[in-house]
């Protein structure tokens, strides 16, 4: 596959990483995570489109763009994980490898956070490993892209 672009999309409030509940989400900022992702992706021979939005419709648009321009997708849907059928539909509509990612273990959180409505559209899930999960997701995504 000639296209080796990994879209890494981040949902609501992830722009506050490093300051928002660091006991849950860690002390790495989103900029720290982006830098680490770009370095890891380069080692894997991948280009990166790294984005964050607090707006559901924008996230849906970006998922659709990833489907047409990307080789694979890593998505941390944030709170939309638990509520967004629109995001599930967008993820289901694209035919590229997809990894859903969460910094915390959603199954160890409040009851309303324990269900992911978006997970059925993903090839795999990584959760509970903090910022390190992004690097692991890139490893997994690279392997899935290579199988396509």
Contact predicate 21/122, CB 8 Å:
no
As given in the structure block, the two tokens for residue 27 are 């002390």
Dihedral, CA of residue 120, residue 81, residue 133 and residue 72, to nearest 10:
60
Which residue from 68, 28, 67, 35 is spatially nearest to 50, judged by alpha carbons? 35
Instruction: Please tell me the distance from the alpha carbon of residue 116 to that of residue 120, in angstroms, as a whole number.
Output: 8
Our answer to whether residue 82 is catalytic in this structure is: no
Does 107 participate in catalysis according to the annotation?
no
Catalytic residue, from 80, 82, 102, 107: name it. Answer: 102
The span from the CA of 115 to the CA of 120, in Å, is 11
Check 25, 82, 107, 134 and give the catalytic one.
Answer: 25
Task: Give the whole-angstrom CA distance, residue 81 versus residue 135.
Answer: 20
As annotated, the active-site residues are 25, 102
């Amino acid at each position: 596959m000639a296209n080796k672009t990994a879209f890494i999309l981040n949902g609501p409030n992830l722009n506050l990483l490093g300051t928002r509940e660091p006991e849950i989400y860690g002390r790495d900022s989103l900029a720290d995570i982006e830098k680490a992702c770009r370095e890891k992706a380069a080692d894997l021979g991948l280009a990166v489109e790294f984005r964050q939005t607090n707006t559901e419709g924008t996230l849906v648009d970006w998922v659709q763009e990833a489907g047409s321009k990307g080789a694979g997708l890593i998505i941390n849907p944030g709170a939309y994980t638990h509520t967004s059928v629109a995001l599930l539909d967008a993820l289901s509509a694209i035919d590229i490898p997809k990894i859903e990612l969460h910094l915390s273990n959603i199954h160890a959180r409040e009851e309303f956070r324990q269900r992911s409505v978006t997970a059925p559209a993903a090839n795999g899930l990584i959760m509970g490993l903090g910022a390190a999960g992004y690097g692991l997701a890139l490893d997994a995504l690279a392997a899935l892209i290579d199988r396509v």
